[in-house]
Amino acid sequence: MDDTLAAARRWYAEDLGYKVPVLRNPKLIEAFATVRREQFVGPGPWSIISDPYSDPFLTPDDDPRWLYHDVLVTIDASRNLNNGMPSFWARNFDHLNIAAGEQVLQVGAGTGYYSAVLAEIVGPAGRVTAIETDTELASRARVNLESWPQVDVVSGDGRAVDVGEVDIAIVFAGATHPSRVWLDRLVEGGRLLMPMTDDTWKGFLLHVVRRRDHFEASSIGAVSIYPCTGGRDEDAARRLHNAIDGLPLRNLPIRALHVGEPRFNDSENVWFSGPGFWLERDPPC
């Protein structure tokens, strides 16, 4: 059975490589081929959602090969909480082009599956600090990740815990505004990826790169995701909904992120502002 599962994981990882596609970092494929997903989603049978718009179904048995497809796996149906879609996170990881030895902050570890994938990518010389606000999930993640010494699981508020300088900050829940800690702790060239979502849980993926004297910003696509504890502002959510309504979410007209409130003479350049930050409009060519 071990050989059969290894072959299933390899097929799954290679399939993700073609589907995403993985173009920047082939280590992603090796990471998905290595980590045992069944270790992170509890015993089967499992409730599986084959795509985000379909109804869940219960697998007829506990064969782990059910898990080695591009599917959501239910963690807690009462909270609509799932082990996320592998192609979605593979695409995000590839866009960030995470390198061996980098320091990664993961906000929203869940039960730790994607923490393990990140750990495989950064390798033993890197570090993943996986923060989870739900104490029960954090406890499960800590047990699940014992085989990866380069992962620290922290039970706490992912918007407030200061883990020092990081190369990557990646947020696994939807917010209306970034935490100042995420921005302040990025090294030069460091990357932040966070879902910016309205009150329907829908929005776009904000990609930020820290330069010496500014933050570059862009959207890399649409997202629908579980909300971030402590990262929601109702007024900002409504304004964000209005700002993105009807727009192609991969090509939003933004170019930079600024910390603080926009000044009066910035008003024409503001595309969106939220608590403690604003996004600068990319002027048309």
Kindly give the residue spans of alpha helices, DSSP state H, lying in 20-54.
27-34
DSSP lists the bridge partners of residue 144 as none
The DSSP line for 234-278 is: HHHHHHHHHHHTTS-TTS-SEEEEEESPPPGGGGGGEEEEETTEE
**CA-to-CA distance for 229 and 134, rounded, in angstroms?**
10
Residue 82 phi, psi dihedral angles, 5° rounding: -130, 160
Predicted pLDDT of residue 51: 84
Q: How far is it, in rounded angstroms, from Cα 227 to Cα 229?
A: 6
Residue 76, H or E segment: strand 72-76
Q: Is the C-alpha dihedral spanning 274, 275, 279, 281 positive or negative?
A: positive
- The count of other CB atoms within 10 Å of the CB of residue 56 is 15
Answer yes or no: are the C-beta atoms of 162 and 185 closer than 8 Å: yes
Query: Residue 10 is encoded by which pair of tokens?
Result: 């390899």
How far apart CA 175 and CA 5 sit, in angstroms, is 37
pLDDT tens track of the chain, all 285 residues? 578 999 999 999 999 999 999 999 999 999 999 999 999 999 999 999 998 778 999 999 999 999 999 999 999 989 889 999 999 999 999 999 999 999 999 999 999 999 999 999 999 999 999 999 999 999 999 999 999 999 999 999 999 999 999 999 999 999 999 999 999 999 999 999 999 999 999 999 999 999 998 999 999 999 999 999 899 999 999 999 999 999 999 889 999 999 998 886 777 899 999 999 999 998 765
Residue 179 and residue 118: Cα distance in Å, rounded?
21
Distances (CA, A) of 220 to 16, 115, 195, 237, 252: 18, 22, 10, 19, 9
pLDDT, one tens digit per residue, over 218-267 is 999 999 999 998 999 999 999 999 999 999 998 899 999 999 988 867 77
> CA 217 to CA 149: how far, in whole Å?
33
Residue type, 251: N
Nearest-10 Cα torsion for 242, 248, 251, 255? 0
User: CA 133, CA 95: separation in Å to the nearest integer?
Assistant: 26
Q: What whole-number distance in Å separates Cα of residue 166 and Cα of residue 128?
A: 9
Asked if residue 276 lies in contact with residue 180, where contact means CB atoms within 8 angstroms, the answer is: yes
pLDDT reported for residue 1: 56
Q: Can you read off the two tokens belonging to residue 185?
A: 């702790």
Dist. CA 102–CA 100, nearest whole Å:
6
